[in-house]
Amino acid sequence: MRQITISCLAAVMMLFLSACGFIKTVHDQSSTPPYEPETLHIQFVSAEEDGEQVNAFADLLAKELGIPVELKLTSDYEKAGKDIRSKKSDLVMMQPADYVEANQSREAIVLLQPQLSTGDPKEKVTSVKGRILFDKTSGFTSLKDLAGKTIAVQEGKAVVQLGDLAKAGIDVQKDLTFVYVTSDTEGIEAVKKRKADALITLETTSAKGLRQLETENRIPNDAIAVRPDMTDEWQESIRQTFLSLDESKEGRQLILTLFGHVGYVPAEESDFDIIRQSQELVER
């Protein structure tokens, strides 16, 4: 009886303290104020290593934003993704599939998409077609012909194309063998040396010496994303700064040289729905 009485008393005290605000909920304990950067830390993907141009771009952004900007370039999309997840970077460039995963776990929010040139000065695109490259002796005439074949692919960069293969009737999990490569150049070499029957890539990849098939759905360009706890005001300030970059000769030249971009547009979550839909098809 004594034990029951003490337990009941303890329960009553807990309720009383909670009602009076002496005990915080788990949500209260974990909540933090919205993030306002004092220095904007950016991690973008680029093969360019010209320190002078990197500094010039950081200075241009700093002038517009009114705070110091630390810009780091990497050739590794995975590193950029890790940095936004760990909040080492405030703003990063991410592959579409990696962004969708980070957004689902509430680790990134998309602000912008880069525009790419098609060669026509009047045309700028935010998505590209998928492409399958293969040797002319393979005899492939449709996506169905890839069933049972060995496919070269860059990890995380072929979700939409694989979804299109699934729509064509191929069981991606069972009917394909994958050879993972780190670049299109390596993938093309794998095809030419018969280490792979085909390479999954984008229409921007040169098909010299190889034949090609196009996949159905367009693939969205990279996501320019921020950490999700950043204030709405700062998100909008960053968005507007990037949208205005192609208004000056210096801005246009820097984003083209450093990243191959010809401008930026506001992004919506729906821009990446094709990634989510393709993932569902591939994982069935």
Superfamily of domain 127-220: Periplasmic binding protein-like II (3.40.190.10)
The whole-angstrom separation of Cα 254 and Cα 271 is 26
pLDDT of residue 2: 35
How far CA 230 is from CA of 36, 101, 183, 187, in Å, comes to 6, 19, 33, 39
pLDDT along the chain (284 residues), means of 10: 37 38 36 90 89 95 97 92 96 96 96 92 92 94 96 91 96 95 93 96 89 95 97 98 95 95 96 96 87
Kindly list the distances between the CA atom of residue 46 and the CA atoms of 75, 77, 109, 267, in Å, as whole numbers in the listed order. 5, 9, 21, 21
Asked if residue 146 lies in contact with residue 172, where contact means CB atoms within 8 angstroms, the answer is: no
Given the candidates 2.60.40.10, 3.40.190.10, 3.40.50.300, 3.90.1150.10, the CATH classification of the domain at 40-119+221-272 is 3.40.190.10
Give the pLDDT of residue 3.
Answer: 38
Measured between alpha carbons, how far is 209 from 136 in angstroms, rounded to an integer?
Answer: 8
Specify the pLDDT at position 121. Answer: 78
Strand order in the sheet with 211-220: 177-181, 150-154, 198-202, 127-134, 211-220
pLDDT at position 108:
97
Cα 186 to Cα 152: distance, rounded to the nearest angstrom:
9
- For the chain, the domains span 40-119+221-272, 127-220
Model pLDDT, residue 101: 95
pLDDT at position 122 is 83
| CA-CA-CA-CA torsion sign (102, 104, 107, 112) | positive
pTM score, whole prediction: 0.82
Dihedral (Cα; 228, 233, 234, 235), 10-degree rounding: 50
Q: Do domains 40-119+221-272 and 127-220 have the same CATH topology?
A: yes
Check if the beta carbon of residue 43 is closer than 8 Å to that of residue 92: yes
